[in-house]
Amino acid sequence: MKQNNFLITIIGPTAIGKTALSIALAQHFGCEIISCDSRQFYKEMKIGTAVPNEEELNAAPHYFIQHKSILESYNVGDFEREALLKLDELFEKKNIQIMVGGSGLYVDAILKGFDDFPDINPAIRKEIKAEYESKGLDYLQQKLQESDPIYFEKLSSENPQTLQNPQRLMRFVEVSLGSGKPYSSFLNQKKNKRNFTPIVIGLEADRVIMYDRINQRVDLMIQDGLLEEAKKLYPNKQLNALQTVGYRELFDYFDGKTTLDFAVEEIKKNTRRFAKRQLTWFKRTENVNWFDYLTDRKEIISTIESSIK
């Protein structure tokens, strides 16, 4: 069955043109689109997450866009389970389908799946969270270094930004303390089977061009009403879904910590940094067909069709 199903997966940094390409390919192959942008899931976050507009959504069937509320709990495991079920359903209709998005972890969830971790007593997570809130990030980093020194060193050298992410660190520490084994001992233990062959298309651009596109997109978001959208979300600013570039900076403005002009410049700067991290993640992905964002779509289609044959 795997040989007959193909999942065209479009990856790349934000504002590079993934949405437009996914629609063109969906129309060419007569298939549908799974979105794996982890912030476009939320219906209250439309402008700041660059959700496809009505015309784009009508141009091809889309799934996993604005289907959840920021008040609902939804994580990458939930997405993996639901998206794989939806793909099974779509492959019944057509053996070629499309997935698009810039959330590397969510792309990996579908293409490769996750490692199996033991169930951990929720009380342990609660205790770790309380310690973090009173002692800060240093506490989590120290605990990970004590419980899994090999993984700590690996992250320090290969992925240092993860050591600044409290949600990820709490998970690592929770598994290590709750199981009595290093978090890293549960990694890469099994291969998840998938009923499709991935064909991965990456879009990229010269860094100056990429940054310019990001700056222009942020200006458009402000014109389209991002400030008003953020104001509506401000009462819920503590929610995990809203710890997102484009909203955090405006929340600081509402709190009187910055000027509006400074907040907008921070959104641009932090989005550029985010795009750089996206590229770093995706460049580690195996078997990607990379194209300049201006490549003629016929060339991309030709690459896909030769892979399918």
Quote the Cα angle for 70-75-76, to 5°: 135
d(CA 229, CA 232): 5
17 is in an annotated binding site: yes
User: Please, which pLDDT band fits residue 191 given cuts at 50, 70 and 90?
Assistant: low
Task: Delimit the domains of the chain by residue range.
Answer: 2-114+192-308, 122-186
Domains 2-114+192-308 and 122-186 share a fold: no
160 is in an annotated binding site: no
Q: pTM (2 decimals)? A: 0.79
Q: 229-279 pLDDT, tens per residue?
A: 999 999 999 998 999 999 999 999 999 999 999 999 999 999 999 999 999
Phi-psi region at 288: left, alpha or beta (left = phi > 0; alpha = psi -120 to 50): beta
DSSP character string of 224-260: HTHHHHHHHHGGGTTSGGG-STTTHHHHHHHTTSS-H
pLDDT given at position 1: 42
19 is in an annotated binding site: yes
303 is in an annotated binding site: no
- Tokens for 3, please give them: 């040989």
Q: 71-97 pLDDT, tens per residue?
A: 998 888 899 999 999 999 999 999 999
Count other Cβ atoms within 10 Å, centred on residue 44.
Answer: 18
- Residue 68 DSSP label: B
pLDDT given at position 202: 98
Give the CATH number of domain 122-186: 1.10.20
308 is in an annotated binding site: no
9 is in an annotated binding site: no
**Per-residue pLDDT averaged across 182-193, rounded?**
78
d(CA 117, CA 109): 14
User: Please, which pLDDT band fits residue 162 given cuts at 50, 70 and 90?
Assistant: confident
Q: Is 2-114+192-308 CATH 3.40.50.300?
A: yes
**130 CB-near residues (< 8 Å, 6+ apart):** none
Percent of the chain residues topping a pLDDT of 70: 97
